[in-house]
Amino acid sequence: MLKILFLIISLLYSISGISQENITLTYTGNMGILISDDQSSVLIDGLHTKYGDDYLFPSGEVVHKINTKFKPNAILFTHYHGDHFSASLSREYLDLNKKAVLLGANQITKNFSKFKNRVFTIATKDYTKQTIDIGKVKITGVKINHAGKRHVAVENVGYIIHINNKKFLHVGDTSWLEEIDLFNELQLRDENIDIAILPYWMLMQDDALILIKKYINPKKVIATHISPKIKKKELLDLKNRYPEIHFLTTLEQQIQL
């Protein structure tokens, strides 16, 4: 009898351990990603409003779920553009969830003086990585230049989220920027990234897979920032070209990792 009881307890412990290893990634629009396990969650670029027809944004229903159901421990923003960040929605979230914190560059965090003890600013003077522990989640922020010459003044931050023995990289609105040797400077291969979350245009170069392997070397790649107006053939061509890559296009689309 004791042996049977021991076996049952061991089995239940094993199942519990397996469930805690599961991580769910939920898409909230444009580059918005909720990363969660059974105990902790982080939302990146997940609170913003309609910015234009080319950008998918979280519906009122999704925002309500973020505020009342998902309730991430930390809300992170890569930069201040309206397809990634809403100051008003973020303030509302922090008001409703008193223990949550916010991370971003100064162009983001300067809007939150009311919550100064719960706000962390990622410096963007150079490419020094900055790590903050939020409970059981380790968040590392680093400057990753915004794509496009007209956006050189934009403080774009990339994040490495270490949660439940997995590392997620979210780069915001960047590109390979080989003219400034950006990704060689970042040394992301040393971080042992499991999942890289990239804007889909980084896949458009013919040597994209070579660059991903060379500079990041993740186990999986997830493509975001895909316009709702993208032609079906263009999206299908991308999926056929990269069958191992996940393309996020639908609100609340989920990936189990």
- Give residue 108's identity as a one-letter amino acid code: I
Q: What does the pLDDT read at residue 53?
A: 95
Architecture per CATH, domain 22-248, reads as: 4-Layer Sandwich (3.60)
Does residue 215 contact residue 205 with C-beta atoms inside 8 Å?
no
Chain length of the chain? 257
pLDDT in tens, 81-138: 999 999 999 999 999 999 999 999 999 999 999 998 999 999 999 999 999 999 999 9
In this predicted structure, which of 3-12, 32-41, 81-90, 147-156 has the lowest mean pLDDT? 3-12
- State the pTM of this model: 0.91
Q: What does the pLDDT read at residue 14?
A: 44
> Over pLDDT 90: what percentage of the chain?
91
- Predicted confidence (pLDDT) at residue 7 exceeds the cutoff of 80: no
- Predicted confidence (pLDDT) at residue 15 exceeds the cutoff of 70: no
- Predicted confidence (pLDDT) at residue 190 exceeds the cutoff of 50: yes
Q: What does the pLDDT read at residue 21?
A: 61
Does residue 119 contact residue 102 with C-beta atoms inside 8 Å?
yes
Q: Which residues contact 176 (CB under 8 A, 6 or more apart)?
A: 182, 183, 202, 205, 211, 215
3 state SS for 38-71: CCCEEEECCECCCCCCCCCCCCHHHHHHHHHHHC
Q: What does the pLDDT read at residue 19?
A: 42
pLDDT in tens, 33-73: 999 998 999 999 999 999 999 999 999 999 999 999 999 99
Across the chain, mean pLDDT equals 93
- Predicted confidence (pLDDT) at residue 231 exceeds the cutoff of 70: yes
Question: Token match 């991308």: residue?
Answer: 238
